[in-house]
Amino acid sequence: MSLINYASREINCKIVYYGPGLGGKTTNIKYIYSKISPGIRGKLISLATELDRTLFFDFLPVDVGNIKGFKTRFHLYTVPGQVYYNASRKLILKGVDGIIFVADSQIERFDDNIDSVENMKENLAVIGLSIIKLPFVIQYNKRDLPNISSLDKLESILNPMKVPYFEAVATQGIGVFDTLKACSKLVIRTLSR
């Protein structure tokens, strides 16, 4: 649920990076933060937990244009990867406008991806949302590693809705902005209706 600030003429949208622990959510956000001009980005805030960290920052993109005379500001969040922090995951999902699921392409993480997708759907249901009605994009990260699942296998299990997907190597920035741009466009399209 985007927030409209009439005083500053801004629409604030929330995009959440969801996925298994150590799959690349934080790497995506840190890469984006490092490449965005300081003049259009907010602070990078990291809330450290005992075993994980949650990151947040906002930025005001220059190229997505205005919606009915309002600038659009995106707030990017990651959820903690460990299931132990499920309450935090639910809290971070509240008010979400779009979700980027970051899947770890490594073969040994295949089941973790499935568990994380199911957890995401359950948490959305608890707060009265459905992935079917939200802008949703999948990123298959770590595509540079030798022990990865095939794209066909990942797609057949993780993407039955056939949402946009991107292959990525977040540590190198490959696919990072493509993924964000696709999700941002879906959010803007939803808001413009």
Q: Which domains are seen in the chain, by residue range? A: 3-191 (3.40.50.300)
Does the CA dihedral 45-172-179-153 come out positive or negative? negative
Q: What angle do CA 106, 16, 177 make, to 5 degrees?
A: 70
Per-residue pLDDT of the chain (193 residues; tens, 9 = 90+): 677 777 877 888 999 999 999 999 989 998 999 998 888 888 888 776 665 555 565 555 545 556 777 888 889 998 887 766 788 889 889 999 999 999 999 999 999 999 999 999 999 999 999 999 999 999 999 999 999 999 999 999 999 999 999 999 999 999 999 999 999 999 998 987 7
Does the CA dihedral 75-81-83-84 come out positive or negative? negative
Per the CB < 8 A criterion, the answer to whether 22 and 13 are in contact is: no
